[in-house]
A and B are shown apart, each in its own frame.
Chain A
Amino acid sequence: MSAQKKKAFQIEAFKHRVVVDPKYAEKTWKILEHAIHEIYNHNASGLSFEELYRNAYNMVLHKFGEKLYSGLVTTMTSHLKEISNSIEAAQGGLFLDELNRKWAEHNKALQMIRDILMYMDRTFIPNTHKTPVHELGLNLWRDVIIHSHAIQSRLQAILLENVRRERSGEVIDRGLMRSITKMLMDLGPSVYQDDFEKHFLEVSADFYRLESQEFIESCDCGEYLKKAERRLNEEIERVSHYLDTRSEVKITNVVETEMIESHIHRLVQMENSGLINMIVDEKYEDLGRMYCLFRRVSNGLVLIRDVMTSYIRDTGKQLLTDPERLKDPVDFVQHLLDLKDKYDKIITSAFRNDKTFQNALNSSFEYFINLNSRSPEFISLFVDDKLRKGLRGVTEEDVELLLDKVMMLFRYLQEKDVFEKYYKQHLAKRLLSGKSVSDDAERSLIVKLKTECGYQFTSKLEGMFTDMKTSQDTMQGFHASHGSDIGDGPMLSVQVLTTGSWPTQPITTCNLPAEILGICEKFRNYYLGTHTGRRLSWQTNMGTADLKATFGKGQKHELNVSTYQMCVLMLFNDADRLSYKEIEQVTEIPTSDLKRCLQSLACVKGKNVLRKEPMSKDIVDTDTFLFNDKYTSKFFKVKIGTVAAQRESEPENQETRQRVEEDRKPQIEAAIVRIMKARRVLDHNNIVAEVTKQLQSRFLPNPVVIKKRIESLIEREFLERDKGDRKLYRYLA
């Protein structure tokens, strides 16, 4: 260190020793070349790293970097050529082995060389934009060996052959395959793809195309799917063991295309084993497999859904138009519920609760349930049957389950107002005859309907229940105050019904027997005493009576009959034989009702408390009726009433339909007025659309009917037509 007194400390650039020896570069290079040879010949131990590093460093420093680099390239290339020869010489199975071994050795040598030439790698190469040593080594390997004419095709062929062997069930050396594919990936993604992957995918496509053709000729749908699934899993496993992960998507694509997509239609429609058969036979496992496999293919699920939907619609349509089935509504509805259950189960267990399938199922049910205009009636009859006797002894949870299922069918109905009408009728009959099995079940269903359709729907139904309760209280009051008066007379039980809540009944004439009239008057006075300003009218067509009858040999029976029948039978207390005309005159019961009631009294086996002359089936005006003292029955109590809810006959059905149509008219008009009041001016199509939208929760309005209602409103000056545009309507305040 030079003595520097008070001068500032300076750092000078170092002056390198100038090289004088002209052969310096050559000599230094020779040392390095020799070292590289030794490295490739596995003789590296004993070399001094420091010496080699220093030599390389010096070469670069003294501007001989170019010579060093090109020398490196030449030396490496010649070594690789030797290696290439030895690999080519390898026979058969040893080829891959040899290639793998030489590759590992090359990598090791490359690392050592790079370590020695680190200085060049870091200074000379970036400056001259040449390829770094490691990359250089890989590129040379790729060019000299992998892409050498002899080796390239042989390598590809052997790799693909191995895959083929494994696919036919042989065991191959997976570790070796792994190393080779890894080598290809290290050499660059394009090498892996071009030299191997591309051909692999092509060959696989051919292989699977052939195999799928074979399978589909020989297997049924279920078996084929099993095989396809197995091959798919095999390929995924193969990728995980010895291929690049990015190949997984590509190879699964190939399998999906060849094995599934190209045969998709044939599979679904295969006779005796296709989709429809699987559904019918409830093969959940096969269906689940089909779902998983088809999911991988575009439009696979769409196809399943479409086929299933059209099948459901067809079976549904068949069910609904089959006259045999329609004879028993309860059975019919039960069938519908069973059908729904079946498909629900398929969707949950095999189709993984897929929402699109649920929707398809719902829309199909909606479609065919509404094909038959009597569906609302039938559903109401089903409920009626259940609430009368079907739910006896069933646990509360099961009751809830059943009611929920019924609600589900209800939701599919388009004409909910028709259902309402029938339900009211059936409920009225149930309540009045006291035949409901469980009051809780009834109320539960009302609540469900209220949740679904709103308060309006159920207000009248609830009114009916209230009336029943109130009547009970009234009767208690009546008996408390008049109990002593009755004594031996007939026992009266009255239900007072509010007219608005109950289904409208035509008022019928009927002359009650004298014994009854007395007590009826007493009740009327009692009731009007407590509730002034009300009007009571007796509904003689809805009542029942219990009569004690003594027959010829003294056998006593208790007869449960309708009010009409009671009137008729009481007449026979005073006379043994009466003609039809006489009966009609005294009782003043309407003809059709009278005929029906006489029929059930005289013509039904086991209940013929009256005899008819002549003994024909039908009642004619000229018939005569006699008291049948030879009547016998096993039971003490005999029920002769005809009060149960029946499937309507055609004319009755027409009548109800008409009433429903009449009811709809004001609803449509109200909707039109509501809309026009808000919008002021609107054209015809839009009105129709809006009205439909508003009313769709109750029924589907007919556009023709809407048009008529609009015209009626125009007549009544609620709306007017626009002067310029005939299709436009204006609201008149």
Chain B
Amino acid sequence: MKKEDTVKLISAEGMEFVIDKEAAMVSQTIRNMLTSPGGFAEAEHGEVTFPEISAVILEKICQYFYWSLQYSRFGFFIFYFLGSVSCFFFYEFIFGLV
């Protein structure tokens, strides 16, 4: 993967997840972070830190991004994916309301 096509998502513990930009942009919030004008730090360095999201959750989230990209055309009901209770909170945080 080329450097320009990727973003780094950093969890609370400091674990780094490097994923495709396209995958990350599934989240409207992350999309805004990366495309907002004005030169926020995230867009400048291509890194987003989530001090309140644990690595386990963040990993699941990254997996979701790829799953979503793959299956988005079938319009799967999103909730089928989530297996964890705490995910609901972060879902709202990251994705806003769908």
**Cβ-defined contact, B86 with A14, below 8 A:** yes
User: Which residues in window 26-77 of B have CB below 8 A to A?
Assistant: 28-29, 32-33, 36-44, 48-52
Residue of B nearest to A1 (CB): B84
**Cβ-defined contact, A49 with B44, below 8 A:** no
Residue of A nearest to B86 (CB): A14
Residue of A nearest to B39 (CB): A45
**Cβ-defined contact, B85 with A118, below 8 A:** no
**Cβ-defined contact, B85 with A12, below 8 A:** yes
Complex Cα gap A112–B44 (Å):
15
Complex Cα gap A112–B48 (Å):
17
Complex Cα gap A108–B35 (Å):
12
Residue of B nearest to A42 (CB): B38
**Cβ-defined contact, B40 with A44, below 8 A:** yes
Since A50-B48, A112-B36 are in contact, a sample of 19 more A-B pairs with Cβ atoms closer than 8 Å, ordered by chain A residue number, is A14-B89, A39-B38, A44-B38, A45-B38, A45-B44, A46-B41, A47-B40, A47-B41, A48-B49, A49-B32, A49-B33, A54-B52, A57-B93, A108-B37, A111-B36, A111-B38, A118-B32, A122-B97, A123-B97
CB-CB under 8 A from A109, the residues of chain B are 38
- By CB atoms of chain A within 10 A, which of B41, B48, B97 has the most? B41
For residue A629, CB closer than 8 A to chain B, the reply is: no
For residue A208, CB closer than 8 A to chain B, the reply is: no
Complex Cα gap A671–B92 (Å):
93
**Cβ-defined contact, B41 with A115, below 8 A:** no
CB-CB under 8 A from B52, the residues of chain A are 54
For residue A95, CB closer than 8 A to chain B, the reply is: no
For residue A343, CB closer than 8 A to chain B, the reply is: no
Number of inter-chain CB pairs below 8 Å: 68
| B23, chain A: closest CB distance, angstroms | 17
**Cβ-defined contact, B49 with A14, below 8 A:** no
Residues on B close to A: CB < 8 A? 28-29, 32-33, 36-44, 48-52, 84-86, 88-89, 93, 96-97
Known contacts A14-B89, A44-B39, A122-B97; decide if A50 and B44 are in contact (CB<8 Å).
no
**Cβ-defined contact, A14 with B97, below 8 A:** no
CB-CB under 8 A from A14, the residues of chain B are 85-86, 88-89
- By CB atoms of chain A within 10 A, which of B28, B36, B48 has the most? B36
Complex Cα gap A308–B82 (Å):
84
Complex Cα gap A119–B37 (Å):
18
CB-CB under 8 A from A108, the residues of chain B are 37-38
User: Which residues in window 30-87 of A have CB below 8 A to B?
Assistant: 39, 44-50, 53-54, 57
Residue of B nearest to A109 (CB): B38
Complex Cα gap A12–B96 (Å):
20
Mark each residue of chain A from 106 to 145: 1 if its CB lies under 8 Å from any CB of chain B, else 0. 0011011001101100110000000000000000000000
| A51, chain B: closest CB distance, angstroms | 8
Pick the residue among A11, A45, A115 that contacts B88 (CB under 8 A). Answer: A11
**Cβ-defined contact, B37 with A112, below 8 A:** yes
- Can you show 26 pairs from A to B with CB atoms below 8 A apart? A11-B85, A14-B86, A44-B38, A44-B40, A45-B40, A45-B41, A47-B40, A48-B41, A49-B32, A49-B43, A49-B48, A50-B33, A50-B48, A53-B29, A53-B33, A57-B93, A108-B38, A111-B38, A112-B36, A115-B33, A115-B36, A118-B28, A118-B29, A118-B32, A118-B96, A119-B96
Complex Cα gap A50–B47 (Å):
10
Residue of A nearest to B84 (CB): A1
Mark each residue of chain A from 14 to 25: 1 if its CB lies under 8 Å from any CB of chain B, else 0. 101000000000
| A89, chain B: closest CB distance, angstroms | 26
CB-CB under 8 A from A12, the residues of chain B are 85
**Cβ-defined contact, B84 with A48, below 8 A:** no
**Cβ-defined contact, B97 with A49, below 8 A:** no
CB-CB under 8 A from A111, the residues of chain B are 36-38
**Cβ-defined contact, A115 with B97, below 8 A:** no
Known contacts A1-B84, A111-B37, A122-B96; decide if A48 and B42 are in contact (CB<8 Å).
yes
**Cβ-defined contact, A49 with B36, below 8 A:** yes
Complex Cα gap A597–B88 (Å):
128
Complex Cα gap A11–B83 (Å):
9
Complex Cα gap A12–B85 (Å):
7
Pairs of residues from A and B, 4 with the lowest C-beta to C-beta distance, nearest first: A45-B39, A49-B40, A44-B38, A115-B36
Complex Cα gap A54–B33 (Å):
12
CB-CB under 8 A from B40, the residues of chain A are 44-45, 47-49, 112
Complex Cα gap A116–B43 (Å):
13
Residue of A nearest to B34 (CB): A49
Complex Cα gap A53–B88 (Å):
18
**Cβ-defined contact, A115 with B32, below 8 A:** yes
| A380, chain B: closest CB distance, angstroms | 85
| B62, chain A: closest CB distance, angstroms | 16
Pick the residue among A49, A57, A119 that contacts B41 (CB under 8 A). Answer: A49
Residue of B nearest to A52 (CB): B40
Complex Cα gap A44–B33 (Å):
13
Complex Cα gap A450–B86 (Å):
98
CB-CB under 8 A from A122, the residues of chain B are 96-97
Complex Cα gap A45–B39 (Å):
5
Residue of A nearest to B35 (CB): A115
CB-CB under 8 A from A11, the residues of chain B are 85, 88
CB-CB under 8 A from B44, the residues of chain A are 45-46
CB-CB under 8 A from B51, the residues of chain A are 54
- By CB atoms of chain A within 10 A, which of B29, B38, B89 has the most? B38
| A706, chain B: closest CB distance, angstroms | 84
CB-CB under 8 A from B39, the residues of chain A are 44-46
Complex Cα gap A118–B85 (Å):
24
Residue of A nearest to B28 (CB): A118
CB-CB under 8 A from A57, the residues of chain B are 93
CB-CB under 8 A from B32, the residues of chain A are 49, 115, 118
| B74, chain A: closest CB distance, angstroms | 23
Residue of B nearest to A12 (CB): B85
| A662, chain B: closest CB distance, angstroms | 94
CB-CB under 8 A from B96, the residues of chain A are 118-119, 122
Mark each residue of chain A from 636 to 672: 1 if its CB lies under 8 Å from any CB of chain B, else 0. 0000000000000000000000000000000000000
| A459, chain B: closest CB distance, angstroms | 82
**Cβ-defined contact, A112 with B38, below 8 A:** yes
Complex Cα gap A11–B37 (Å):
39
- By CB atoms of chain B within 10 A, which of A12, A109, A112, A115 has the most? A115
